[in-house]
Amino acid sequence: MLTTNQIHQRAGLRYTSMLKSWGQHEEMFPVRISLGKVVGSLSLVCGWVEALKSQSGEVIPWGYRLVWKEVNSQQYGKNEFPTHLEFTDPAHLAKFLDKELQWTDFDSFMQGVQLKYPQVLGELRVKPASVHSIASSGHDFFKSLNWMLENPLACCYLREIPDLPHSKFIEENSAVFRFFLNRLLPADHIRHDEDGLERRFGFKKREHFFICRLLDTSLKQSLGWPCEELALSPTEISQLNPTDEQGVERVIIVENQVNLHTLPRQKNTLAIHGAGFAVLRLASAVWLQEIQVTYWGDLDAQGFEILSDLRNKLPKVKSLWMDPAAIRILHKFISKGSVSRRSAPNLTPDEQQAYRWCRLFNKRIEQERVPKEMFSAVIN
């Protein structure tokens, strides 16, 4: 005999199948869920039957009816027992699972897709859960999506799109918009080398600004900077070209902003806050290929993955404190890391060894834990 939880689990599986077969889902019904073999004492069985009856459509409209069968057994005598729950239509199954509103929204959304964009319907059914986040806002979604399709490469910010229900609507539902735009926009209107929603589909994106600090104050005059620290966009950094006569011979990229501000003075050196994977956008600065570039990231899986990706773009980049020796020296600062499921192939043997340790044991040593007295050794 199935328990209430087991019945709900089986009904939940049928509900998922109903979502995936949308458009032909009516053919699933009536849906029957077997209640299993009747076992136990007579009083236990009677209580179980009464509980099922009290929640069935025959007494309270919970959405299902009981299918009965007469059983003649030595233990229970000649009696009728329920063998199945039966749901006659999608609304009843959804009601039983307390998903009436979700089903109504989903059904309405899919009808809109079928009417407006039938070419994506089949693929969308494969992952129905992806619709749930947007289904209750179907009207607003279709209005925004239609504007985006009618105004390709609009070169505006997402929040400038007319009649949004709220300013973050597209950003909060970016995965669904991305799914539709990938399939509905012409191929020449998609930047296939970009992953972000804005740049991939021709919208403006607020520039990321890198905080840059001169470790050599004399560079202020040669570069024409008004102060020792500036926030620059990738485009502005690529236009610097501060080599030769301007005296920049080395760039140190640090993942943590605290380290940027506490690095000691160093001749002919510019320090940049890398800000995680955003550092990869620095690769547009061709002049970085011509000077010494050093990357100092956290001793964790993500730090090594950033280093590997950066080295794909800047092959000569070197690392600081990202090897087994650093782990041994800083072992008392070890903390829990973040799980990673990717790889970092572009590492030196020592870096690869430290990376494997970080991934295998899920460990991290944050770079700001390096004692200040060790900084001079770090950058020399």
- Report the candidate in 56, 55, 64 with the shortest Cα–Cα distance to residue 33: 64
> What tens-digit pLDDT sequence spans the chain (380 residues)?
667 778 888 889 999 999 988 888 888 888 888 877 766 566 665 666 666 666 555 433 456 777 777 776 666 667 777 778 888 889 889 988 889 999 999 999 999 999 999 999 988 888 888 888 899 999 999 999 999 999 987 888 899 999 899 988 999 999 999 999 999 999 888 988 888 888 899 888 887 899 999 999 888 888 888 999 999 998 899 888 776 666 888 999 999 888 899 898 999 999 999 988 889 989 889 899 989 999 999 999 999 999 999 999 999 999 998 999 999 988 899 999 888 888 889 999 999 999 999 999 999 998 887 776 666 555 55
Q: Tell how far CA 249 is from the center of its chain.
A: 38
- Report the candidate in 332, 340, 347, 352 with the shortest Cα–Cα distance to residue 301: 340
**Cα four-point dihedral sign 138, 140, 143, 148:** negative
Tokens representing 51 are 């509980």
Kindly state the helix (H) or strand (E) to which residue 138 belongs, with its residue range.
helix 138-150
- Which pLDDT score, from 0 to 100, does residue 59 have? 37
**Where do we find the tokens 């005296």?**
247
- Which pLDDT score, from 0 to 100, does residue 18 have? 92
- Which pLDDT score, from 0 to 100, does residue 232 have? 93
- Report the candidate in 348, 352, 199 with the shortest Cα–Cα distance to residue 284: 199
Bridge-based pairing state of the strands 77-87 and 31-34? antiparallel
Residue 199: which region, alpha, beta or left (left: phi > 0; alpha: psi -120 to 50)?
alpha
Tokens representing 290 are 């011509």
Contact by Cβ (8 Å): 120, 184: yes
- Report the candidate in 96, 169, 340, 375 with the shortest Cα–Cα distance to residue 262: 375
Cα-flanking dihedrals φ and ψ of residue 314, to 5°?
-125, 85
- Which pLDDT score, from 0 to 100, does residue 92 have? 87
- Which pLDDT score, from 0 to 100, does residue 116 have? 94
Query: Coil, helix or strand for 86?
Result: strand
What's the whole-model pTM score? 0.59
- Which pLDDT score, from 0 to 100, does residue 76 have? 66
What is the C-alpha separation between 35 and 151, in angstroms, rounded?
55
- Which pLDDT score, from 0 to 100, does residue 62 have? 53
What is the C-alpha separation between 91 and 87, in angstroms, rounded?
9
> Which residues, at least 6 apart from 13, have a Cβ–Cβ distance to it below 8 Å?
none
- Which pLDDT score, from 0 to 100, does residue 133 have? 82
- Which pLDDT score, from 0 to 100, does residue 42 have? 60
